Structure 1
Amino acid sequence: MYERLRVYINSWVVLLRLYTRPNPSLRKIKRVLRLYSAMSIQSKKTILITGCSPGGIGYALAREFHTRGLHVFATARNEKALADLTALGGIEALPLEVTSPESISELKRHIVERTGGSLDYLVNNAGRNYTVPALDLDFAEVEECFDINVISVMRMCQAFGPLLIQASGTIINIGSAAADLPYVFGSVYNASKAALHSYSETLRVELAPFDVKVMLVVATGVKTNVLRIHRDLPKDSVFLPLNAEYRQRQLQPREKGMSATDFAAEVVEAVLKPKPAASIWTGPQATMVWLMLGLFPRVFWQYYFSRLINMDKLARIVKDQKKNK
């Protein structure tokens, strides 16, 4: 708070000095305008959100945080797609490829220039789904899934850690209940979210001495564009008898998930509490799933998801094939 006030006062001093000089140069005028813009930002809390493409969680979060009075830095691979957000005022659309260290560095340079070197909130939302059986993986896609869902979060936290320390800020990582559930055909995605959860728990302990908080948001299902990849099983897949179930499995999050707008409203409310929780569960039946994970043994969930995807059908087919050999 005091650092923010100091920067604000210094900005006014510099602005007045430049303004009172006779015949200021174009460079000085531009500097005055930048300082004036920075001063308006410094009067608000600032938040940086990754993965803000329209139709997704990040887009909804950007709108919701904006309505709550924060200055929002919304990022996407194509920032021009965020024109609807920037039209609201108080939201800056910036390009970011989360898997590129160079892109992250350029974004950091811009944020430092705009805020004076501090950041109140960082939301690591960018994510990638990958719903493929464990024996049919494309390892280029596996690496991309982990790079976006895990490694990019580490890159962002490392890059913006000093800014968050300066502001005694908060990191919000968007996780998934899939990290704790054996959701069939989601082994890679599940594993990437489990890694994110573990990273977040340790990061929270490491950053506590710097008064930086880490919140983990565990989603049980949200309707977003990230879930719109439709695949068929490979023709040589041992799971081919379940191709219909596989296609249905890819539709389930969209059919039963919470809207991104409702999800964002719940998350923002939790984040902006005076004493926010270290982790929150949100989405369809989130509280029930959380309770059941603590009460029921792992074998229950294995049985549940096996029945959900009709794995017993595959077991019968495999058994008959062995008999006929």
Structure 2
Amino acid sequence: MTVPKVAFVTGASRGIGLSISKMLVGLGYKVYGVSRNPENCIYADKMFHLIECDLTNAKQLDSLLDSIPDKKDISLVVHNAGLAYFSPVEELSSDKIREMVSLHITAPMLLTTKVTRYLKQNQGRIVFIGSVSGKEISPWGNVYASLKAGIHHYARELFAELRKFGVKVHLIIPDITKTDFYNHLNFEPDEDPKSFLLPDQIADVIRDLVVEDRGWVVPEIQISPEIFKLKRKKQS
């Protein structure tokens, strides 16, 4: 019996993270997904194991990998979890800033530190889900965009450091993607299907990286819809 490869995906219960998890299960991976509210996930499979964890909680984060019995077999890590608060800088609360810093910078850095020794042993790979906001000036996205730019640079640093050990590092930079990311924002993707990406399309890009392993690495990919178009939400 073939032992399945083991993957670790944050923000795995919905949106892009769920699409990635389902794709990896389809490839035969055992997927350990992390979610703050796993009970809200609508997907179930014997190869998909959701772990409840608030990645902004230092105590929960420190013990997260201990809940994975075969953590030494992890060969793929996908840092996907995220959220954004957009507002003028003087209106952004301290709690919201801390939450975004913890989720977008602290958590992926600490988890990477803990799991890299296994990835070196297994000749594995790390995938960071960035954002086009980290490459552009984003109105009222001052903190979110800055943090994404920071994790972009971290991914590039890791690519240079870990390639000598056979660990592949990829930075995926999606543009507007139709998920519930926009639920609490005052703008959202337009109805035009050419103006947004779908989570499954992001998962398809990662599938190609994982399956088509030809001995060379694509360190960074930006994915954009054909048309740029956003709309403001109607005020209720």
Normalised to the residue count of structure 1, the TM-score between the two structures is 0.64
Within 5 Å, give how 1:1-325 maps onto structure 2.
Answer: 43-54=3-14, 56-82=15-41, 84-86=42-44, 88-111=45-68, 113-115=69-71, 117-230=72-185, 247=186, 250-252=187-189, 256-274=195-213, 275-285=216-226
Q: How many Å apart are 1:227 and its aligned residue?
A: 1.9
Secondary structure in structure 2 of the residue aligned to 1:281? strand
Distance of 2:155 and 2:92 partners within structure 1: 27
Secondary structure in structure 1 of the residue aligned to 2:66? helix
Normalised to the residue count of structure 2, the TM-score between the two structures is 0.86
- Alignment-mate amino acid for residue 133 of structure 2: A
Larger Rg: 1
Q: How many Å apart are 1:195 and its aligned residue?
A: 0.5
Structure 2: which 5+ residue stretches go unaligned?
232-236
Distance of 1:253 and 1:160 partners within structure 2: 39
- Alignment-mate amino acid for residue 205 of structure 2: E
Structure possessing the higher relative contact order (Cα contacts under 8 Å, 6 or more residues apart): 2
Structure with more of its chain in strand, by fraction: 2
Number of paired residues?
A: 226
Distance of 2:98 and 2:58 partners within structure 1: 16
Q: How many Å apart are 1:74 and its aligned residue?
A: 1.5
Distance of 2:75 and 2:104 partners within structure 1: 22
Distance of 2:217 and 2:159 partners within structure 1: 13
Q: Encode CA deviations 1:67-126: one digit per residue, 9 max, x unaligned.
A: 1221111221122333x433x321112122212343234331232x225x1211000000
Structure 2 residue aligned with 1:294: none
Distance of 1:106 and 1:228 partners within structure 2: 30
Task: Calculate percent identity across the aligned residue pairs.
Answer: 23
* Contact 1:50-1:75 within 8 A present in 2 as well: yes
* Contact 2:10-2:81 within 8 A present in 1 as well: yes
Q: How many Å apart are 1:253 and its aligned residue?
A: 7.2
Structure 2 residue aligned with 1:33: none
Q: How many Å apart are 1:254 and its aligned residue?
A: 8.1
Structure with more of its chain in helix, by fraction: 1
Distance of 1:222 and 1:149 partners within structure 2: 18
* Contact 1:46-1:119 within 8 A present in 2 as well: yes
Structure 1 residue aligned with 2:234: none
Q: How many Å apart are 1:171 and its aligned residue?
A: 0.7
Distance of 2:179 and 2:63 partners within structure 1: 28
RMSD, matched Cα: 2.4
* Contact 2:8-2:77 within 8 A present in 1 as well: yes
Q: How many Å apart are 1:148 and its aligned residue?
A: 0.7
Distance of 1:276 and 1:70 partners within structure 2: 21
Distance of 2:200 and 2:43 partners within structure 1: 14
